[in-house]
Amino acid sequence: MDSLQDFEASNTNPSNILTPNFPASLSITTVTGANTNTNFSATASSSSSPSSTSPSTLSRYENQKRRDWNTFGQYLRNHRPPLSLSRCSGAHVLEFLRYLDQFGKTKVHTPLCPFFGHPNPPAPCPCPLRQAWGSLDALIGRLRAAFEEHGGKPEANPFGARAVRLYLREVRDSQAKARGISYEKKKRKRAPQAPPLPPPNVNQNQ
């Protein structure tokens, strides 16, 4: 996802860190090995990978999921005060998502902007850049899966918390209005069914 790649790149520039809770020393370790069942703790090493699995055998989704998981683990370690994964809640997930907004590339018009609700603005405007709803939704899906793969219980998954679902829904609705687009999935039209064949004529003369 572009947002997390920008998030990783920005750590080389301390001026990009806008929130005191996230120090400029934040660094991200990119790992391309397979997901392993490590201890259920954010302090576990994220650079280990089984020697029996080649990185080339992993799908793009699995590689991105592992990168996202390592990024969130780094966020927990650099949190002030440091935060363990077992104590992470939906509120901390929301804090993480809001922090990522500063690395967004999607223009979200404010209600006072003349281009509010305009899908193709004819001129630039000073409205802020945010993370697109689709990117955040996909990110949460990968982190929710990674949480359980690393030993977390589904009922304690902070990425599946109701507050996170409501936040994503709010982002989707607000961005749809601001950008003049619809995130509703189009229903596939069913092909018209052919009329049934008439039964064979059984009254033919023998």
Residues 95-145 pLDDT 10s: 999 999 999 999 999 999 999 998 888 999 999 999 999 999 999 999 999
With contact defined as beta carbons under 8 Å apart, do 175 and 116 qualify?
no
pLDDT class of 184 with cuts at 50, 70, 90: low
How far apart CA 166 and CA 70 sit, in angstroms, is: 25
pLDDT at position 181: 81
What pTM, to 2 d.p., does this model score?
Answer: 0.63
How far apart CA 171 and CA 178 sit, in angstroms, is: 10
How far apart CA 168 and CA 133 sit, in angstroms, is: 7
Q: What is the DSSP letter of 106?
A: E
Query: What average pLDDT score do residues 36-51 get?
Result: 37
Q: Residue 187: pLDDT above 50? A: yes
How far apart CA 127 and CA 110 sit, in angstroms, is: 6
Query: What average pLDDT score do residues 44-56 get?
Result: 43
Torsion of CA 122, 126, 128, 133, to 10 degrees: -10
Q: Residue 1: pLDDT above 70? A: no
Q: How high is the mean pLDDT of the chain?
A: 74
